[in-house]
Amino acid sequence: MLNVIKKKVASFNDKDKDCILCFNEIALKCNLFYNRTADEVVGFHEVLGTKSFRPVNSALIIMTRGVYQNWKQPIGYFLINNVCSSEDLKNVIFTAISHLQDTGLNVV
């Protein structure tokens, strides 16, 4: 997905590259299921590859949005149990900013 964003951003002028990060949390029904292909149980709290065995009841969605241009793009989501810890949230924010800057966007 980041490669697609990188190609699109290449056609933006400098002002159009200014963007912000948006976060939203939505409630989910607690439900676990087995993914045969990946041989794992899906539905546990997981942030940046770190999984804890607490059932998920929320999703944290990350989106970027243009400051001067009217565009927006979801860039990721994390399945969480109740709330995301401040340390996890800090890591998510810095990782997202780093990846967006690698595509040529300017997060303000």
Chain segment 13-43, per-residue pLDDT in tens: 889 999 999 998 888 877 777 888 988 877 7
Please determine, for residue 107, whether its predicted confidence score (pLDDT) is greater than 90: yes
Q: Which of 27, 38, 16 is nearest to 105 (CA)?
A: 16
Mean pLDDT, range 70-81, rounded to an integer:
86
Percent pLDDT > 70 in the chain is 97
**Residue 33 — φ and ψ, nearest 5°?**
-145, 160
pLDDT of res. 98: 93
Band (94; pLDDT cuts 50, 70, 90): very high
Neighbours of 66 (CB within 10 A): 17
For CA atoms 18, 23, 24, 28, the dihedral sign is: positive
